[in-house]
Amino acid sequence: MSTSILLLIVIGVAGLIVQLRLNSVFNKYSRVHFPGGFTGKDVAERMLRDHGIHDVKVISTRGHLTDHYNPATRTVNLSESVYSSASIAAAAVAAHECGHAVQHAYGYAPLRLRSALVPVIQISSSLSTWVIVLGILLINSVPAIFWVGIAMIAASALFSLVTLPVEYNASARAIRWLEGSGVLNPEQMKGATVSLRWAARTYLVAALSAIATLLYYLGFARDNN
């Protein structure tokens, strides 16, 4: 077994473990409510106000853990289970997504770079697999196709790397605000911090997986050169 394949397997297993742990942590703290009674919507709106952001709306979106900030529409989109829940997990998620809104408002450079890469990633992620397969079939006659596929995978790896500081910084902003606002007490903050750290690790695993995939195909190209 080649080193790159072994690396992909190890990262895949690590990703599964992290995802299972994340689900366990969020399920645990989704059942722990705090006396203030603030829902995810309330937490998000308060954090935005405290940062002087008045042109971003907090809305509900369908799905589980589908929470995200949309810079194009200037909306903090919270999943139904977060939007109306007064749990520690909901507060952590809402604050994290507002962390992205704060990044946007303050012109955080990695967020601007990630936003600029989105159109490229939307194209490459939908086509890269087909281009790679075609490139493998024609690697001896038209090797350029395979290298186009590798370029697409490299773009995805770059996007994953740029995403890391964006996500970790948003969590850091969320933790800092939650501590300073008094929304959660010190004991509740421990649960929020654990939740956000495990969520951030999913992005780390995704970045490692993207890099390992790129290395695998680069090795394939070398072996067939």
What confidence score (pLDDT) does residue 15 get? 82
Lookup: tokens for 223: 């072996």
Amino acid at 146: F
Distance CA 192, CA 39 (A): 14
Position 143 pLDDT exceeds 60: yes
What confidence score (pLDDT) does residue 134 get? 93
What pLDDT, in 10s, does the model give residues 6-64?
A: 877 888 888 888 888 888 888 888 888 876 778 999 999 999 999 999 999 999 999 88
Instruction: Give the structural domain span for 95.
Output: 3-223
What confidence score (pLDDT) does residue 1 get? 52
Which residue numbers are catalytic?
Answer: 97
Position 155 pLDDT exceeds 90: yes
State the SS3 of the chain.
CCHHHHHHHHHHHHHHHHHHHHHHHHHHHHCCECCCCCCHHHHHHHHHHHCCCCCCEEEEECCCCCCEEECCCCEEEEEHHHHCCCEHHHHHHHHHHHHHHHHHHHCCHHHHHHHHHHHHHHHHHHHHHHHHHHHHHCCCCCHHHHHHHHHHHHHHHHHHHHHHHHHHHHHHHHHHHHHHHCCCCHHHHHHHHHHHHHHHHHHHHHHHHHHHHHHHHHHHHHHCC
The tally of domains found in the chain comes to 1
What confidence score (pLDDT) does residue 109 get? 96
Distance CA 165, CA 130 (A): 30
What confidence score (pLDDT) does residue 6 get? 82
Average pLDDT on 109-128 reads 91
Position 124 pLDDT exceeds 90: no
* Mean pLDDT (the chain, rounded): 90
Distance CA 49, CA 41 (A): 12
What confidence score (pLDDT) does residue 16 get? 87
What pLDDT, in 10s, does the model give residues 54-101?
A: 999 999 999 887 899 999 999 999 999 899 999 999 999 999 999 999
Average pLDDT on 151-177 reads 95
